[in-house]
Structure 1
Amino acid sequence: MDNILETQRLAHEVIERLEEASVQQFLTDSKTYRGRLQNEHTIDRYLTRLDKESQTLIDLYEDKDGQRQKAIDTLSKPAISLDEFYEQLDQIKEHHQKYPNEPIEAPEFEFMRTSNQHDNGEEEENDDMEEDDGKLKTGGGEENLGRYVDLNSLHGEYLNLKGVDRLDYIPYLDRFDRFADIKVYPVNLKSSNDYRLYLDHLHNYLHGFFRRAKPLEDVASLEQQAKLEFEEKWNGNDGGNDQTKAEDATGLFCKACQKLFTKQTVFDAHLKGKKHLKVQEKLDQENSSTNGSDNQDGLNKMDRRKQTAWMEALITAYMKTLDNIRTESKANVERKQALTDRERTHEQDQEDIEIEDESDEDDDEDRIYNPLKLPLGWDGKPIPYWLYKLHGLGVEYPCEICGNYVYMGRKAFDKHFQEWRHAHGMRCLGLPNSRQFHEITKIDDAYALNEKLKNQSVKTDVKAENMEEYEDDEGNVFNKKTYEDLKRQGII
């Protein structure tokens, strides 16, 4: 039944349900990367649906056709006539005759079913649709569910561009967004159609990567901010960019040959070359032969330059946000290059197995019942309570030298005296981490023991010095110190 007020009320209810479902999904703590990514895509679907329902509600409130106001006027009448009552009754009967036994489902059940699809395995039917929409890839691949960027195909396109630096894949990952570097992207390349097509492919990939790997990223705001900065920079440079401005400032850039020279002597010598004279003559003929269409061609050329520069600025803005992923992607490529073919195959098979078993492992972890907060064993489950009591894991052993760190159980306490934290604390106190300081946890006790050990060492040295006896030629007996003093003076 088409009732505009009921449709409006239902839209309000759906919006409230979507807000609540988004909050609940956001509070869901997944222990795996794949689970967190699925939660983000679920929240993204909720927010997209919420935006759509909100727009529908706005259109209903605008009431361009007057249906809403008419329905309100009908309800505002003092009493409904019998004709209007029977008319509404006929509409209800007609609807139920047309849709007999129509199931009624509350809106909250829809969102509960959506959030539980990951657990029941019902999401397989929607995988292809989500992959077509650029949201979630269930397979492995170089991206590995959005952990890394995969620019292998774009690297191939880059190598096919004329005059570019022949970069390997890892240097390309590091420098592909440095559009002002004339070694990576020469000036004469910027006006070619192949370069514009390459920029379009690069932009489309990065934009789709945001949808796949970062669905909750506000890409629209990022693009809007990049647009404002680009317009300000473009207008400030009078329709140029930093690269062309720097080239004009050097005075070593030949516009006819579209080439930048590093030395004045080389630049002057090339002006007399046959190739330059031929290109310059052709350029002069084109400038002299054109008429009033020059202005239009110049505007079109400026528009193409601006569009190219905007795509470069937008890709640069994307990569500022994805800088961490770029670093991790380079590290992953370097790691994979060190693997053999057998190790790569084994790693890919292992990733596929982990993806299949990950949801089951999450369910097992969520079902762990541990009210006593017992430590987890090697199998990821709490250890038995009798073992917990046997090892005294409930007894606390604080250590002031370790910064009041508390060790649970005697075994961990005895072991910590040879670990880095205690050794660092003793080093900060200027004390040796020797066997004598074992069981000492108070700073004052450690200093007191150190003084005691020093005194014992002095007494031992003095006693050893006095016990040692020396005899001269006449049979006189002296201790070591006296004997050495007399011998040094030549008395004996």
Structure 2
Amino acid sequence: MSTLESQRYALEDLDRLEKAIADRFLEPARTHRDKISEEHEIASFLNRIQHQSNYLLDSFEDGNEERAREIANLHGGETTNQFDEFYKQLKSIKDFHRRYPNQPVENLEENYRKKRKTDDDTSDLDAIDTMFTGEEALGKYFDLIAFHERYVNLRGVTHVSYVQYLDIFDKFEQLSRTPKDDEYFKYISDLSAYLEGFLKRTRPLDDPEGSIAKIEESFNEEWENKKFKQNGTAVNHKPNGPNGEGIYCDACEKMFEKQTVYDGHLSGKKHKKNFELKQQGGVNGASSIAANFKERAISLREFEITKLAEILGEVREETKINVERKSALTLRERQLEMEALERQELGGDDEDGGGEQEDDGKIYNPLKLPIGWDGKPIPFWLWKLHGLGVEYPCEICGNFVYMGRKAFDKHFMEARHVHGLRCLGIQNSALFREITSIQDALALWEKIKKERRAQESLREQAVEVEDDEGNVMSEKVYNDLKKQGLL
């Protein structure tokens, strides 16, 4: 194929690609499955457009002057004119079709036609099915079950449920006592790779590669600007504490919430010994460079996980809701739910079984009722029976509003409420059930501390001692007088 013909084919291909993308935007997808499939199709079309555009730019530069020679031949030479060259090329085309009369003609329009579910070729649909696991539900939810198992098996980690893990998998201050060994690095590397892959699979049109590149650039800037401070003894790039601040001792691999505690730790024998060992290990230079490289790699993975969790925050919330909802379902209800989802995804185009709800791809829910196991809003009488319309705000949880008495009663032992109490300096959260006001919680805590001090004072006065002169007094008074030499 000549250079001019290749350029003409590329330009024609660009027109077809633009029309195919426009057709998909003009006819919105009816189901979530169709939406994901179309987004991946459009992403492949955009990659094709970029490839063809790069080819055209290179060919128009005409580095080997092949295009200029073809244009000169079309204009004719000294002995021939442009018509002679035109009929010469026409004759070669006719000879080719005369030799191969039954040569099939490629239908270029068919390559970019929007596929229907009735088509025989379902390879693209099968690709979408194999792209996600069953737990991910075509990209609606996370599938972090395997990572949860690896997390609870790390050293120095307390056991948490899967729902709690969804809240804290990007909170690395929880892992301050976990050694940063190869197992930990493999865990955060795989988790970061999963989140990157999930972003690419669910949002192919949002430039996921560009978002990941921006995260790496942001990390490099912070690392170079000494926001990740490294002075041989402290690394301040791991926040902790209620205010999001903390100091990390790199020599002892331990986190401290307050500066005073950290200053006292520096004078300890254990810290000095660990610091000397770390300095001796870095004398050769190679071990110091390796340690710095490993620390930077770990910090990069943790930074990526934190930022990707922010980007995919909506998916995380939906995953938590779905896990909590599934935990209340029976095996039969789960099977019915899976069958309903399969019918919804595979039979969304049926003329006799869809109705207005399936045609629009949306659920008519003007009262904003919760979604039941069958994917439809629960009945209004059931919503009213369980009091799901009653709001229960909690000031300790940051004025978070819980819908329904069941969710309100359950939240007192959840991480958000316990963390709010700890921020107020309250340790025993079991005694503060049904208390949602910060002022009431502080008043009760002061009362509890006064009662404890009174009980301690009573215990001290319960033991009575008699001196040589027969005077009876408490043991505390007796010891004080004896120390002063009055007895």
- Cross-structure match for 2:122: 124
8 A contact 1:41–1:215 mirrored in 2:
yes
What residue number does 1:8 align with?
7
State the alpha-carbon separation in 2 of the partners of residues 131 and 8 from structure 1: 37
Give the equivalent residue in structure 1 for 2:28: 29
Offset of 1:146 from its aligned partner?
1.2
SS in 2 for 1:310: helix
1:128 Cα offset (Å): 4.8
Distance of 1:216 and 1:231 partners within structure 2: 26
Q: Which amino acid aligns with 1:72?
A: I
SS of residue paired to 2:63: coil
Amino acid at match of 1:30: A
- For the residue of structure 2 that corresponds to 1:360, the secondary structure is coil
Identity between Structure 1 and Structure 2 (%): 32
Give the deviation of 1:67 after TM superposition: 2.2
Superposition CA RMSD, Å: 4.0
| Aligned CA distance change for structure 1 residues 27 and 87 (closer, same or farther; 3 Å) | closer
2:74–2:85 CA contact under 8 A, matched in 1: no
Q: Among 226, 235, 238, which residue is 1:244 paired with?
A: 235
Query: Secondary structure, in 3 states, of the residue corresponding to 2:350?
Result: helix
For residue 280 of structure 1, report the CA deviation from its aligned partner. 5.9
Q: Which amino acid aligns with 1:67?
A: E
1:64: how far off?
3.3
Whole-angstrom CA distance in 1 between matches of 2:195 and 2:336: 29
The residue aligned with 1:161 is 154
Q: Aligned letter for 1:167?
A: V
Residue 260 of structure 1 corresponds to which residue in structure 2?
Answer: 255
Residue in structure 1 matched with residue 294 of structure 2 by the alignment: 304
Q: Is the 8 A contact 1:252 1:264 kept in 2?
A: no
Match of 1:398 in 2: none
- Aligned-partner residue type, residue 75 of structure 1: L
TM-score computed with the length of structure 1 as normaliser: 0.61
Answering whether residue 349 of structure 2 is matched by residue 359 of structure 1, we say yes
In 1: Cα distance, 2:262 partner to 2:354 partner: 75
Tell me if the contact between 1:26 and 1:39 (Cα under 8 Å) persists in the aligned partners: no
1:38 is displaced (CA, Å) by: 2.7
Q: Secondary structure at the match of 2:117?
A: helix
Letter in 2 for 1:11: A
Q: Which residue of 2 aligns with 1:178?
A: 171
- Choose from 201, 223, 228 the match for 2:217: 228
Say which is worse superposed, 78-87 or 332-341, in terms of deviation.
78-87
Once the two structures are TM-superposed, the CA of residue 335 in structure 1 deviates from its matched residue by 0.5
Distance in 1 between residues matched to 2:239 and 2:144, nearest whole Å = 33
- 1:432-467 CA distance string (max 9 Å, x none): xxxxxxxxxxxxxxxxxxxxxxxxxxxxxxxxxxxx
Measured after TM superposition, the shift of residue 70 of structure 1 is 2.2
Task: Say whether the 8 Å CA contact 2:235–2:247 is kept in structure 1.
Answer: no
Q: Quick one: structure 1 residues 255 and 301, their matched pair in 2 at CA, closer, same or farther if it must change by over 3 Å?
A: closer
Identify if the C-alpha distance between structure 1 residues 99 and 197 changes in structure 2 by more than 3 Å, giving closer, same or farther: farther
CA contact (8 A) 2:251 2:275 kept: yes
Which residues in structure 2 correspond to 1:28-47 (within 5 Å)? 28-47=27-46
Deviations 1:368-394 (A, max 9, x none): 99xxxxxx9xxx9xxxxxxxxxxxxxx
Deviations 1:231-283 (A, max 9, x none): 22212226548x9217799997554432235684996599456xx78756654
Moved more, 327-336 or 67-76: 67-76
Hey, what's the Cα distance between the residues in 2 that align with 1:322 and 1:209?
9
Structure 2 counterpart of 1:479:
none
The match for 1:340 is 330
Amino acid across the alignment from 2:309? M
Structure 2: gaps spanning 5 or more residues: 365-487
Residue 307 (structure 1) shift? 2.7
The DSSP-based 3-state class of the residue aligned with 1:163 is coil
Residue 323 (structure 1) shift: 0.9
| Counterpart selection for 2:303 from 300, 313, 320 | 313
State the alpha-carbon separation in 2 of the partners of residues 252 and 234 from structure 1: 16
**Secondary structure of 1:144's aligned partner:** coil
Partners of 2:32 and 2:287 lie apart in 1 by: 52
Kindly state the Cα deviation for residue 43 of structure 1 after the two structures are TM-superposed.
1.8
Cα deviation for residue 15 of structure 1 reads 0.4
Structure 2 match to 1:146: 139
- Look up the SS of the partner of 2:348 in the other structure: helix
1:7, 1:225 → 2: CA distance?
36
Aligned residues: 350
How far did 1:83 drift?
10
Q: Residue 307 of structure 1: SS of its match in structure 2?
A: helix
The offset of 1:18, in angstroms, is 0.7
Does residue 219 (structure 1) correspond to residue 208 (structure 2)? The answer is yes
Tell me which protein shows more helix as a share of its residues: 1
Tell me which residue corresponds to 2:64: 65
Tell me how far 1:306 sits from its aligned partner. 2.3
47-56 vs 19-28, which moves further: 47-56
For structure 1, the residue ranges without an aligned partner over 5 or more in a row are: 370-375, 381-492
